[in-house]
């Protein structure tokens, strides 16, 4: 019976994480539980500081008549906090959120090219981590955990970064390092930026009433990564490291990739390939050693030049868009999502890459027609990995990976 009660509690909590605010009848219908069972679970979650009842909103009926106010349930916005930290190739982002997603703190720090080894980056991240802890404590909140995002392959079960080509990292015990920096004061989760961004995209789409149960989120720094949502949950694959799609071969006669093969997806549509081709290639290659650490600046330059109608830049972006569409179509043939979302820096380049990508995407579908997946742009791309990292902390409670906070 205790197991059934725990499952009920988690079902109610997860439904509010995804769909709140809701009335009690809406919540009961959503989770398929009787009214008394739902109320019991809600009351338990309230005692744990996870759920709160919002002030009743007046209801307007036919002919404008006011009905009885209806109370709404949502996540408690006052007692707890979750945090996200994104370690990128040119910046470190950190943020603290209430459980309802209200931003309490946001910081951004640049990273110099010589500071990308794990020890140096962790030292730079320590200041951000201390600010995260201080923000929660100053607001008299309990910090439930910190999610840490990196642009590469991660074994999320151990918090070990297996490979981040843009940073030159292999087998870095990042969770242990962050845990040490935090003095063990709060739990730490580590995952790839695409996975965390996919979680943030999923919840944003759910709350907008959009398709969110089946999607691929494509993002990229040096290469291309994918976060895959299947049946409403993050799909990690058999070894927990699904999503490194940048080395899917899309052009066998194409350029040589860093992996040694020809025509990988990232050689045609990766941001490094785009900036190298578009921004005076010879000069760009001379500063290749620093290019990985100045990607945001390079994308800024791409956008600025494209807005002026620079023929070279616009042509490169259109061609990259076509390859993006072809690569996305190959992924849909295997995974069959309802939507593919372009995020990260690709969202900023959407005015030039989206239409050619959509044309190529539609043309490469195995079964063409009106019922093909859609190719869209993320609305919250810039901070999506940071937001998703914090959301992952919350979801670790909702999916039962960690015990819920104790009741008062």
Beta strands in 231-302 (DSSP E): 233-234
Mean pLDDT in residue range 3-10: 77
DSSP secondary structure string, 236-284? --TTS-TT-GGGSBS-TTSPBPTTS-BSBHHHHH-HHHHHHHHS-HHHH
d(C-alpha 278, C-alpha 284), whole Å:
9
* Closest-CA residue to 185 (of 158, 150, 147, 146): 146
pLDDT at 68: 64
DSSP secondary structure string, 313-351? HHHHHHHHHHHHHHHHHHHHHHH--SEEEE-THHHHTHH
d(C-alpha 175, C-alpha 182), whole Å:
10
Q: Lowest mean pLDDT of 74-83, 109-118, 248-257, name the range.
A: 109-118
pLDDT at 28: 93
pLDDT at 292: 47
Mean pLDDT in residue range 205-230: 90
pLDDT at 57: 61
70 confidence band (pLDDT: 50, 70, 90)? confident
Backbone angles phi, psi at 403, to 5 degrees: -70, 145
Cβ pair 389, 84 in contact under 8 A: yes
pLDDT digits 0-9 by tens, 24-55 = 999 999 999 999 999 999 999 999 999 999 87
pLDDT digits 0-9 by tens, 281-312 = 545 444 444 444 477 788 999 999 999 999 99
Find tokens 């993002």 and name the residue: 219
Report whether pLDDT(97) > 50.
Answer: yes
């Amino acid at each position: 019976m205790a197991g059934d009660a725990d499952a009920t509690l988690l079902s109610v909590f997860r439904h509010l994480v995804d769909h709140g605010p809701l009335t009690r009848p809406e919540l009961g219908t959503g989770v398929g539980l009787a009214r008394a069972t739902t109320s019991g679970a809600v009351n338990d979650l309230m005692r744990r500081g996870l759920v709160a009842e919002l002030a009743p909103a007046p209801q307007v009926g036919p002919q404008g008549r006011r009905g009885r106010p209806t109370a709404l349930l949502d996540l408690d916005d006052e007692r707890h906090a979750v945090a996200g930290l994104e370690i990128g190739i040119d910046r470190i982002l950190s943020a603290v959120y209430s459980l309802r997603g209200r931003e309490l703190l946001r910081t951004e720090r640049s990273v110099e090219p010589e500071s990308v080894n794990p020890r140096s980056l962790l030292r730079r991240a320590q200041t951000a981590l201390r600010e995260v802890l201080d923000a929660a404590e100053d607001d008299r909140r309990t910090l439930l955990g910190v999610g840490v995002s990196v642009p590469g392959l991660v074994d999320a079960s151990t918090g070990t970064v297996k490979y981040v080509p843009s940073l030159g990292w292999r087998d870095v015990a990042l969770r242990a390092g962050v845990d040490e920096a935090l003095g063990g004061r709060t739990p730490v989760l580590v995952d790839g930026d695409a996975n965390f961004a996919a979680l943030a995209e999923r919840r944003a789409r759910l709350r907008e009433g959009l398709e969110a149960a089946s999607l691929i989120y494509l993002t990229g720094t040096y290469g291309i990564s994918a976060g895959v949502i299947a049946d409403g949950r993050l799909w990690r694959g058999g070894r927990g490291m699904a999503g490194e799609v940048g080395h899917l071969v899309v052009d066998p006669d194409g350029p040589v990739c860093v992996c040694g093969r020809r025509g990988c997806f990232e050689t045609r549509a990766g941001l490094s390939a785009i900036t190298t081709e578009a921004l005076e290639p010879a000069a760009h290659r001379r500063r290749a050693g620093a290019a990985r650490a100045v990607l945001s600046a390079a994308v800024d330059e791409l956008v600025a030049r494209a807005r002026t109608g620079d023929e070279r830049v616009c042509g490169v972006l259109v061609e990259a868009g076509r390859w993006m569409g072809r690569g996305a179509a190959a992924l849909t043939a295997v995974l069959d999502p309802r939507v593919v979302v372009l995020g990260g820096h690709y969202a900023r380049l959407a005015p030039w890459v989206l239409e050619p990508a959509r044309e190529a995407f539609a043309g490469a579908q195995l079964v063409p027609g009106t019922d093909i997946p859609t190719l869209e742009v993320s609305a919250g791309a810039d901070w999506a990995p940071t937001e998703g990292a914090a959301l992952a902390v919350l979801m670790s409670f909702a999916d039962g990976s960690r015990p819920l906070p104790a009741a008062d």
